[in-house]
Amino acid sequence: MDYQILKPERFGNVEVLTISRPEALNALNSAFFSELNTYIDDIIANEPFRVLVITGAGKAFVAGADIAEMVDMNPSEAKGFSEKGQQSFMRLEELPIPVIAAVNGYALGGGCELAMACDMRLGSTKAVFGLPEVGLGLIPGYAGTQRLTRLTSLGNALKCIMSGDPFSAEEAYRLGLVQQLCEPDMLMEDALSLARKIAKRGPKAIRKVKEVIRKGRHLSFNQAMDLEKEKFSQLFEDEAKEGMKAFLEKRKPDWSNN
Ligand code: DAK
């Protein structure tokens, strides 16, 4: 597929996807969502790599939903735009493989929501986060109200969203929104290093960890333990055997069949 906005680059079992519309600080428009959906279709159909890293080109990760595109929408067009965005971010979150956001710069509005739909976030110390929607007469609409509340706390989410204030990467780290702070020129190296580490682990185990943790949050503790037990036992069909045998035989596991 010939993408205009998405720039995928493969590094072994890891892919870096750069969102590249720097003239609009990578703001999310309909073309972006169409490309993202096609890209997700390909990952689901082919699983061509093990870990995805998402970043932005230039000085922004993503400066929000495209205000220039939204401004002239009527309510029914706005509904379509919002549904497309919500569904795309849900599909991203539900990808079977881990997704790391490497937040290089502005992650505002829909950009902050995109980062939150990823499994973990590394932040450049130069990154700026925020959900400024209320200043535009909007509210976060790609599930930012819900994801931020779950990633931080009720009070923190209400303060961030009601004030609309931008906040630093250090503050995002303190809030638990960012898992690792990186020097700006080390961000991609750090993100790739984490992605490569995860890509070396048992691939089925990694996918099951994601499934159990993400699905378990919506279940009772006992139901989640049942799910954990079920996924744990499924690994004994092949991958767990190879991992444990490799340990006992003092060699590296061979995951090539997984
Ligand atoms: N949309 C469109 N264009 C944008 C943009 C955006 N979000 N952000 C920046 N740009 C464009 C600027 O208009 C400018 O274009 P030209 O004037 O050069 O043509 C270019 O990018 C460079 O921006 P600046 O000149 O402003 O750059 P600065 O370094 O001076 O400032 C900035 C950087 C990030 C502080 C500033 O650009 C800024 O404040 N941008 C807007 C940030 C923002 O408010 N983001 C939130 C957008 S609202 C929903 C779903 C989603 C949403 C809501 C509801 N539902 C499903 C219900 C989400 C809403 C949002 O994300």
Ligand 1 pocket residue status of 68, Cβ below 6 Å: yes
The catalytic position among 15, 35, 113, 239 is: 113
CATH T-level assignment (fold) for domain 6-199: 2-enoyl-CoA Hydratase; Chain A, domain 1 (3.90.226)
- In this predicted structure, the answer to whether residue 258 has a pLDDT above a threshold of 70 is no
Residue type, 187: L
CA atoms of 117 and 119, how far apart (whole Å): 7
Residue type, 217: R
The catalytic position among 23, 47, 77, 133 is: 133
The SS3 of residue 136 is helix
Ligand 1 pocket residue status of 89, Cβ below 6 Å: no
Ligand 1 pocket residue status of 45, Cβ below 6 Å: no
Determine what percent of the chain is predicted with pLDDT higher than 70. 100
pLDDT digits (tens, 9 = 90+) for 202-213: 999 999 999 999
Nearest residue to 60 (alpha-carbon basis) of 32, 116, 99, 22: 22
Ligand 1 pocket residue status of 64, Cβ below 6 Å: yes
Annotated catalytic residue 133 = yes
For the domain covering 203-248, report its CATH number.
Answer: 1.10.12
Q: Whose CA is nearest to atom 45 of ligand 1?
A: 64
Q: Where are the domains of the chain?
A: 6-199, 203-248
| Distance set, CA 119 to CA 9, 77, 156, 221 (Å) | 20, 30, 20, 21
Ligand 1: atom nearest CA of 65 is: 61
pLDDT digits (tens, 9 = 90+) for 85-116: 999 999 999 999 999 999 999 999 999 999 99
Burial of 248 (0-12, 13-18, 19+ CB in 10 A): exposed
